[in-house]
Amino acid sequence: MGADMIRVLLCKTTMECHDRGVRYLATKLRDAGLEVIFMNFLEPREIIDTAIEEDVDVIGVSSSVEGHLPVAREVTRRLAELEKENVLVVFGGVIPERDIALLRETGVREVFGPGSSAAAIIEFIRANARVRSFKLESEP
Amino acid sequence: MSAAANTDQIPSETRPVDTAPNPDGVAGMAFPPQFTAEFVEASRALEQEWRANFDAVSRKFGVNPGDYERHTDSGLPVKPAYFPHDVAGQGYETLSAPGMFPFTRGLHPVQYQFMHWANQPVIGYGLPEETRKRMDYLQSQGMTGYFGNTFYNLVYDLVSHEGVDPDHPAAEGRVGQCGMAVYSREDDARLFDGLQLDRINVVHISYYEVLPVLAHYLAYARRRGVPWGRLGGNSMSWYYQSAYVGMTCFPPKAGMNLAVELVNFCTREMPRWNTVNIFGYGMEESGATAVEELAFSVATGIDYARACVASGLHPDQFLSRFGFQISQSNDFFEEICKIRALRRLWARKCQALGARDPKSMHVRIHTHTSGAMLTAQQPINNLIRTTLHAFGAALAGVQAMEVSTFDEALAIPTEHAHTLALRVQQIIQEESGITRVSDPLGGSYYVESLTNQLEAAAERIIEEVEARGGYHQCHDFVRTRIEASAARWRDLADAKERILVGMNKYQAAETQAIDIFKVNPDSERIAVERIRALRARRDTGRWGKAMSVLDDAARRFTAGEIGVLMPAMIEASDADATTGELMGVLKLHLGWAPPY
């Protein structure tokens, strides 16, 4: 029996208080059986440091107050440098529609705006994250 | 955002007289029961008769009467109709009269008969000049405080909240976002030059950078020759919100001590200044129910007041400068009753703390209509929601209001959206006629019953907080409760048991057909250039000396000394220290980390 072990890094800049959504999402992903690492970041490079250290499959960045484009550019650029493009990067929060295409250009795979359901996000992650199956020694 | 309902701005000859010299009762009066025993019995019989009729209809709708139950959004049970006996057990002294203890019906003998609540829209984006433009524009559109004075409710940007300067690598993309790029005394000049500082009321919406931004304002005012004692406005002192939001913060006790430092400074130097703002709004926005907002707001106030008393102040020296910022959200009656319960609960708690002056027991409320209940979908619907929220707050009798703009769920407001939010207030104030009568819902069997329920439910949570050593000792408890409520709300929304029109019901295929505000892209570059130019231009010797004095003051503050920190910070600001530098000193001495 293999178990899906999708590891998700959820993060939000320390600078803002609009974290109700991302903290709710962290709970829902955990309840759905995903491994969740939640962090507040000051500089985008901290996201990458943590993502590498924790060997995550997904990076989810929540943004409610602008500043998402520089973060997306830095995160995707560093992932490419490290040849870790197989890490799925998604954004969520209050993202103006005109920025969605710009985010996608950087390599962000999906943007979940206000009102998105946790179920839709989980479905997207399951369908698109790299899947690593582990076999426990004791199992046939 | 603020509780800047600054009644001290009212000249003494017209200031509403507080007619409760003896707060232990209404002039010592004990009221006879509201209804005779015979009447109560008849009322109960009437309810039984009505209930049989209600149940019959219930069955026609396929609902077993035994299963019928309804709850407020906080989960309090409510009946389908209320009767006199529902309030018969309540002593009338718990309602009293407007302006009389325990202030359930309002703080003053008058509510809006001679003066409306203050319009206090939140303003702040981009460079200080850009924020000033919006301030002037809204003022020109009739934004009015007390006695025709203007109240400016100004929010600082994300970079300032984090306590860094705009050229910090983390600031990229966030300068002038969600607030104004004001980082120095010089920026205050760009913001306020030309305004008569002693004729305006300025709310500085800051998170943990409270002392630095006030230091800039005071250093600026001194250079303009305006005595600090003549300045009116608010500092927020929101340190306790690290219990329910994840921003980097000072440790809970250190934050509370910073508030105590400010309260002591203002008690001495600027008695008109509002020192602590109890930010219930932030709690409800983070997911707290109305009951939790009520309970945690009061618990915070008690804890901070206790710390001020421990520093040697008498409650009557500082409590009248505590204000409240309270959310007005979707459950119309529960939100109104929450405010009435808050007035009564706080008055009793302040009395227990030793306050004797009725003004010390007043809950001066700045309403912030809910942002969390506004939707990105079909955004114009938000105008209807905010009108209901503001209308409820007006019926509850609050002192000031910020009405969220209809584009709240999308971006910083456009001028158009900002103006419409102001019009919501003006239309209620000038057209609806509700300002004629104080506490217009007072005496409603339902409203009085629900007010009692909210008070009792909040009291139970307050007891729990107190048993844990007071608010600052139990941030985990507060966070866990609020997070659980946030999750419950969202689960109910997903299950369509909480309806948000356009979001989970009556959806329409649509794109955002409204203009979205964008901060001038040059603002960030200009702010960075300015801060660098300031550092290059300033008298380095003078700055270095002031920073070293501040460092020493912060060390003494950390060791428990009150009264040295704020003066040192003002001198450092006068020597052109920036917000990032001032915050840097505090972070070094007090600690600065995520709250969990």
pLDDT recorded at residue A138: 55
pLDDT recorded at residue B223: 98
Q: Which two tokens stand for residue B459?
A: 């009291």
Contact predicate A38/A10, CB 8 Å: yes
**CATH code at B460?**
3.20.20.240
> What residues contact residue B562 under an 8 Å CB cut-off, 6+ apart?
B257, B260, B261, B264, B311
Mean predicted lDDT score pLDDT of chain A:
90
Residue B533 CA: distances (Å) to CA of B184, B231, B529, B537, B538: 12, 30, 6, 6, 9
> What residues contact residue A34 under an 8 Å CB cut-off, 6+ apart?
A6, A7, A8, A122, A125
pLDDT recorded at residue A105: 96
Residues B406-415: tens digit of each pLDDT: 998 888 999 9
Mean predicted lDDT score pLDDT of chain B:
94
- Average pLDDT, stretch B388-404? 98
Residue B329 shares a structural domain with residue B233: no
Does residue B580 register a pLDDT over 70? yes
Identify the domain boundary among B464, B487, B520.
B520
Number of Cβ pairs closer than 8 Å across A and B?
Answer: 102
B238 phi and psi angles, rounded to 5 deg: -85, 30
Best mean pLDDT range from B5-9, B75-79, B505-509: B75-79
Q: Is B202 helix (H, G, I), strand (E, B) or coil?
A: strand
Residue B162 shares a structural domain with residue B264: yes
Backbone region of residue B285 per phi and psi (left: phi > 0; alpha: psi in -120 to 50; beta: other values): alpha
Residues B265-320: tens digit of each pLDDT: 999 999 999 999 999 999 999 999 999 999 999 999 999 999 999 999 999 999 99
How far is the C-alpha of B22 from the C-alpha of B218, rounded, in Å?
A: 37
C-alpha torsion sign, points A21, A24, A29, A32: negative
Residues B550-573: tens digit of each pLDDT: 999 999 999 999 999 999 999 999
How far is the C-alpha of B487 from the C-alpha of B353, rounded, in Å?
A: 35
Domain that residue B344 falls in: 68-105+277-520
Residue B285 shares a structural domain with residue B266: no
Q: Which domains does chain A have, with CATH numbers?
A: 17-51+68-92+104-128 (3.40.50.280)
Whether residue B372 is contained in a domain is answered as yes
Whether residue B53 is contained in a domain is answered as no
Identify the domain boundary among B458, B492, B520.
B520
DSSP string, B428-489: HHHHS-GGGSSSTTTT-HHHHHHHHHHHHHHHHHHHHHHHTTSGGG-HHHHHHHHHHHHHHH
CB distance B177–A65 less than 8 Å?
Answer: yes
Burial of B424 per CB tally in 10 Å (0-12, 13-18, 19+): buried
Residues B505-555: tens digit of each pLDDT: 999 986 667 888 999 999 999 999 999 999 999 999 999 999 999 999 999
How far is the C-alpha of B205 from the C-alpha of A106, rounded, in Å?
A: 34
CB distance B177–A12 less than 8 Å?
Answer: no
Q: Is B525 helix (H, G, I), strand (E, B) or coil?
A: helix
Enter the pTM of the model: 0.93
SS3 labels along chain A:
CEEECCEEEEEEECCCCCCHHHHHHHHHHHHCCCEEEEEEECCHHHHHHHHHHHCCCEEEEEECCCCHHHHHHHHHHHHHHCCCCCCEEEEEECCCHHHHHHHHHHCCCEEECCCCCHHHHHHHHHHHCCCCEEECCCCC
SS3 labels along B331-378:
CHHHHHHHHHHHHHHHHHHHHHCCCCCHHHHCCCEEEEECCCCCCCCC
Contact predicate B400/B3, CB 8 Å: yes
pLDDT recorded at residue B31: 87
Residue of A nearest to B179 (CA): A65
Contact predicate A19/A67, CB 8 Å: no
Does residue B596 register a pLDDT over 80? no
Whether residue B398 is contained in a domain is answered as yes
Residue B266 shares a structural domain with residue B298: no
Using 50, 70 and 90 to split pLDDT, how confident is the model at B21? very low
Residue of B nearest to A94 (CA): B410
CB distance A16–B375 less than 8 Å?
Answer: no
Q: With contacts defined as CB-CB under 8 Å, which chain B residues touch A43?
A: 169-170
Residue B127 shares a structural domain with residue B236: yes
Q: How is the beta sheet containing B232-235 ordered, strand by strand? A: B122-123, B150-155, B200-205, B232-235, B273-274
Q: With contacts defined as CB-CB under 8 Å, which chain B residues touch A94?
A: 376, 409-411
Whether residue B21 is contained in a domain is answered as no
Whether residue B61 is contained in a domain is answered as no
Residue B268 shares a structural domain with residue B282: no
- Tally of structural domains, chain B: 2
Q: A133 to chain B nearest CA, in Å?
A: 31
Residues A7-33: tens digit of each pLDDT: 999 999 988 889 999 999 999 999 999
Residue B182 CA: distances (Å) to CA of B132, B193, B409, B512, B578: 11, 14, 24, 31, 9
Residue B242 shares a structural domain with residue B328: no
Of A42, A66, A114, the CB nearest to B177: A66
pLDDT recorded at residue A140: 47
Would you give the distance in Å from CA A127 to the centre of its chain? Answer: 14
- Closest residue by Cα to residue B347 from B9, B140, B519, B94: B94
A98 CB near a chain B CB, below 8 Å? yes
Whether residue B47 is contained in a domain is answered as no
pLDDT recorded at residue B511: 64
A46 phi and psi angles, rounded to 5 deg: -65, -30
Does residue A135 register a pLDDT over 60? no
Q: A100 to chain B nearest CA, in Å?
A: 13
Identify the domain boundary among B477, B494, B520.
B520
Residue B189 shares a structural domain with residue B217: yes
Q: Which two tokens stand for residue B115?
A: 């003066």
Q: B419 to chain A nearest CA, in Å?
A: 21
Residue B494 shares a structural domain with residue B366: yes
Residue B447 shares a structural domain with residue B474: yes
pLDDT recorded at residue B14: 35
Residue of B nearest to A28 (CA): B487
| Chosen from B206, B238, B244, B247 to mutate, greatest number of chain A CBs within 10 A | B247
Q: A52 to chain B nearest CA, in Å?
A: 20
Give the position of tokens 């993502």: A51
CB distance A70–B170 less than 8 Å?
Answer: no
pLDDT recorded at residue B20: 41
CB distance A17–B241 less than 8 Å?
Answer: yes
- Average pLDDT, stretch B372-376? 95
B contact set with A (CB within 8 A): 158-159, 161-162, 169-170, 172-174, 177-178, 207, 241, 245-248, 282, 285-287, 372, 375-377, 409-411, 483, 486-487, 490, 494, 500, 503-504, 511-512, 516, 518-519, 594
Task: Please tell me the total number of residues recorded for chain B in this structure.
Answer: 596
How far is the C-alpha of B347 from the C-alpha of B356, rounded, in Å?
A: 10
Whether residue B13 is contained in a domain is answered as no
Give the DSSP H/E element, type plus range, for residue B161.
helix B158-162
Q: With contacts defined as CB-CB under 8 Å, which chain B residues touch A117?
A: 494
Residue, of B10 and B185, whose pLDDT is higher: B185
Of B174, B177, B245, the CB nearest to A19: B245
> What residues contact residue A138 under an 8 Å CB cut-off, 6+ apart?
none
Residue B429 shares a structural domain with residue B501: yes
Q: Is B385 helix (H, G, I), strand (E, B) or coil?
A: helix
% of chain B at pLDDT higher than 70: 95
CB distance B246–A119 less than 8 Å?
Answer: no
Q: With contacts defined as CB-CB under 8 Å, which chain A residues touch B411?
A: 94, 96
Give the position of tokens 């070094």: B588
Peptide bond into B80 cis (omega under 30): no
For residue B237, the one-letter residue type is S
Using 50, 70 and 90 to split pLDDT, how confident is the model at B147? confident
Does residue B440 register a pLDDT over 60? yes
Does residue A136 register a pLDDT over 70? no
Contact predicate B342/B298, CB 8 Å: yes
Whether residue B216 is contained in a domain is answered as yes
pLDDT recorded at residue B194: 97
Q: With contacts defined as CB-CB under 8 Å, which chain A residues touch B173?
A: 66-71
Residue B228 shares a structural domain with residue B79: no
